[in-house]
Amino acid sequence: MLVCPQCLFENPSHHKFCQKCGYSLTQKVCGECGSTVSLSVLDCPNCGARTGTVAIAVISRLPVEREHDILDRVENPSSSPEQDRLGGAIAEIPEETQTQSDKIQAASVKSELELTPDEIASLSENAVEVDSVAAETESNQIWGLEAFDASEIPVNDALDPDSNDSVELKSDGSCLSDLEKGMYLDENQRYQLIKPLKTLKPDETVTVEVLDTQPLEMSPPEAAQLNLLSSSEKMDTFVIAAAQAYLILQSQFQDHFPKLKDAWKSDLYTVVILENYSDFPMLLEKFRDSQTTPQQILSWFQQMANLWGDLESFQCRQSLLELTNIRVYPTSPHQICLQQLYQELQADTISLSDLGKAWKTLIQQSQRTLLGSLTQLLRDLNEGEIKTITQLQDHLAEIEQELHSSSTETPSIPISSPTRIQENVDEDITDVPTGGSVAPTIPRLSQLLHLEAVGATDIGRRRQRNEDSFGVQTTIHEQQTPQGRVVEAKGLYILCDGMGGHASGDVASQLAVNTLKQYFQSQLTGELPTQEMIKNAIIQANTTIYEANQGAVRSGVGRMGTTLVMAIVAENQVAIAHVGDSRLYRLTSQGIEQVTVDHEVGQREIQRGVSPEVAYARPDAYQLTQALGPRDRNFVKPDIQFLEVQEDTVFILASDGLTDNDLLEIYYATHLDPLLNPKTDLNTGVKQLIELANEHNGHDNITIIAIRMLVSPSRK
């Protein structure tokens, strides 16, 4: 099916215009000259500008011992009736004959650690001069997935073995012939070579650019994910072994890995088609940039350390040692990404000392004097003193604190995602950045007179069970003195939304609430906890759920998880932390303000500079980028901020059953503004909000915590 780029409507593959909005599904407008250009050509025929969709093809040939079996099949055509997608006659390899060679093969390239500065500089030149390739085709790919409606997809003839565009076995059947520019890699004539491809040797892997002549066709991995989410079938049914690592890593850590567009295997080859990052700047280039700060360097090292453990599970740590493979997002220069995965040749030969050598090479490119502790870290890595990834992460965290404490300026790289409250600071309320490791000390301009909190939850109108959980703890000590009434108050308010569609979401949310309450029972005093304490508490909650997942051998969408939004009150100071899309709002006489920013794909793209319209046109715009439980501690990065309340304020913590469809913003005047009045019963107000959500939403569980704080007037 064809996904309209304008309205995202899914159209039958043979349609030329979108059934919903009428947008062309075969042509686009050249951004340089304004000419109408076919989607299936590489360059604009009028001005020569690049208009085609270029992807990366990772092509691996099997080891020679696997090819002996192929000769028998070539000599006996009856045993291999199907046409090879890359060429020749094949039969599907039985699952039991798959070996390690079915996985990603390591490219036989010279390690960047051995490159000279001149060689590294030459690798940094990304501009590639490519001749235009005209590729008109009306064929559409059939990938063998039940997610496609077979009636909508025209059946394509296999490539004619006698045509110039076919790929044939040599007479001895031992290898494929060279491929000329313009030939297709697949039988459906979708992926077209931009440059000639020489015959691969056994056990060799090459990476080439190809033109995607059908860029609007729904990618097979996307269809596979739909099938996997809606059925109990295993991934092996839909995705070849060589591509599974890409699919899993990209779905879990979208920021760091390319999107898997397609993948297939034949008797001789595996082919994996990936999103193209070749236009992104190399990390090597960024280290040579004089504008690169120590904070940026440290952030890149932290990301590489975090990825190291996850890549180890797939035996792909080599991907972080091929330095030209590491790119930086142009619109988000603090974020690294990998162009492809490199399989380790021997798992036992790679260690953290190799990562240290790679970092040393990067540092040498920067030609700068490093912080002493970072220099010592590199020395310890190279000498094997740091043996585990946890030790490395702890050392990096210590250096991060050292950098922040020694800097008198605002850090160049934020610890957490920017929030709306940081972008729109009220004159009477002081918002403190989250860069420090301790809670801020702020001159108090007002005094807390009253603290009250109410929590409630409802299953909603359509759900079979309630996966939300919450906790409310308020402690108040009141004193009367000759100077007047003094209120000493503290509170802990936790709201968790078990991930919908996941196994035991209610268990995950309750585990998180209980773990956090237990942690702060001993830690919470009359002052706010430090940022480090709050982060440690959240990491502990994540670990509790993660270990439960591991113990139950859950995988994929079967792993339980939960969102989190939490507020900690100490007199008129408030600490706020969140993970996922559960929100916290602030109500004052100035109106309503969303304090937290959802951890979802759409918001991530906006922070990278993408317009909101484009960001939320993505089909995965509302997919969470992090939650508690599904992944280990390295991939939980809570946003934490500190506020001081200097006017009467109501904080609303809410799950998406209440916040969806801008419900709070729309009904602010009738249902929220009255809560600022001390005479309004908070219990009644909370119940009315749940009724409102059931009336206008009702599709999900509904949970709310309302915190009302009344303060004395500011003394300025």
| CA distances from residue 626 to 296, 368, 395, 631, 635 in whole angstroms, order as listed | 22, 35, 24, 9, 7
CA 313-548-657 angle, to 5 degrees, is 105
| For residues 597-612, average pLDDT | 90
| For residues 245-261, average pLDDT | 82
Residue type, 693: A
Q: Is the pLDDT of residue 75 over 70?
A: no
Encode pLDDT of 659-710 as tens digits: 998 999 999 999 999 999 999 999 999 999 999 999 988 788 999 999 999 9
Distance CA 601, CA 625 (A): 6
Confidence of residue 137 (pLDDT cuts 50, 70, 90): very low
pLDDT at 699: 82
DSSP state of 63: P
Q: Is the pLDDT of residue 212 over 80?
A: yes
Q: What percent of the chain has pLDDT over 70?
A: 70
Paired tokens of 229: 């989410």
Distance of CA 692 to the CA centre of its chain: 33
Distance CA 617, CA 246 (A): 24
42 class by beta-carbon count within 10 Å (0-12 exposed, 13-18 middle, 19+ buried)? buried
- Residue listed under structure tokens 């500079």: 609
Quick check: pTM over 0.75?
no
Distance CA 15, CA 153 (A): 10
Cα of first residue to Cα of last residue in the chain, in angstroms, is 64
Distance CA 507, CA 498 (A): 8
pLDDT at 406: 60
pLDDT at 222: 65
Confidence of residue 91 (pLDDT cuts 50, 70, 90): very low
Encode pLDDT of 26-45 as tens digits: 999 888 888 999 999 999 99
β-strand pairing of 27-29 with 36-38: antiparallel
Distance CA 609, CA 604 (A): 9
| For residues 247-259, average pLDDT | 80
Distance CA 252, CA 549 (A): 15
Distance CA 558, CA 234 (A): 12
| Helix intervals (H) in 341-462 | 352-366, 372-382, 389-406, 420-423
Distance CA 607, CA 620 (A): 16
Are 398 and 491 within 8 A, CB to CB? no
pLDDT at 508: 93
- Residue listed under structure tokens 């991934």: 235
Are 39 and 47 within 8 A, CB to CB? no
Encode pLDDT of 407-418 as tens digits: 534 333 333 333
Mean pLDDT lowest for which of 182-191, 451-460, 478-487, 636-645?
Answer: 478-487
| For residues 585-590, average pLDDT | 94
Paired tokens of 358: 């790679």
- Which segments within 141-204 are labelled E, that is strand? 191-193
| CA distances from residue 460 to 366, 466, 471, 638, 657 in whole angstroms, order as listed | 56, 8, 19, 28, 8
457 class by beta-carbon count within 10 Å (0-12 exposed, 13-18 middle, 19+ buried)? buried
| For residues 429-451, average pLDDT | 53
Higher pLDDT, 511 or 267: 511
Are 639 and 694 within 8 A, CB to CB? no
Q: Is the pLDDT of residue 634 over 60?
A: yes
| CA distances from residue 134 to 109, 159, 192 in whole angstroms, order as listed | 32, 18, 10
3-class DSSP state of 175: coil
CA 437-412-295 angle, to 5 degrees, is 70
- Residue listed under structure tokens 């109108």: 461
What mean pLDDT, rounded, does the chain reach?
A: 76
Confidence of residue 134 (pLDDT cuts 50, 70, 90): very low
Higher pLDDT, 8 or 295: 295
Higher pLDDT, 66 or 194: 194
**Which residues partner with 588 through β-bridges?**
591
Q: Is the pLDDT of residue 382 over 70?
A: yes
Higher pLDDT, 187 or 119: 187
CA 320-321-326 angle, to 5 degrees, is 50
63 class by beta-carbon count within 10 Å (0-12 exposed, 13-18 middle, 19+ buried)? middle
Q: Does the CA dihedral 249-252-257-260 come out positive or negative?
A: positive
| For residues 87-103, average pLDDT | 35
Encode pLDDT of 283-324 as tens digits: 988 888 877 888 888 889 989 998 998 898 899 999 999 999
Nearest Cα neighbor of 499 from 542, 536, 435 is 542
Higher pLDDT, 286 or 75: 286
pLDDT at 622: 87
Mean pLDDT lowest for which of 5-9, 32-36, 157-161?
Answer: 157-161
Q: Is the pLDDT of residue 261 over 70?
A: yes
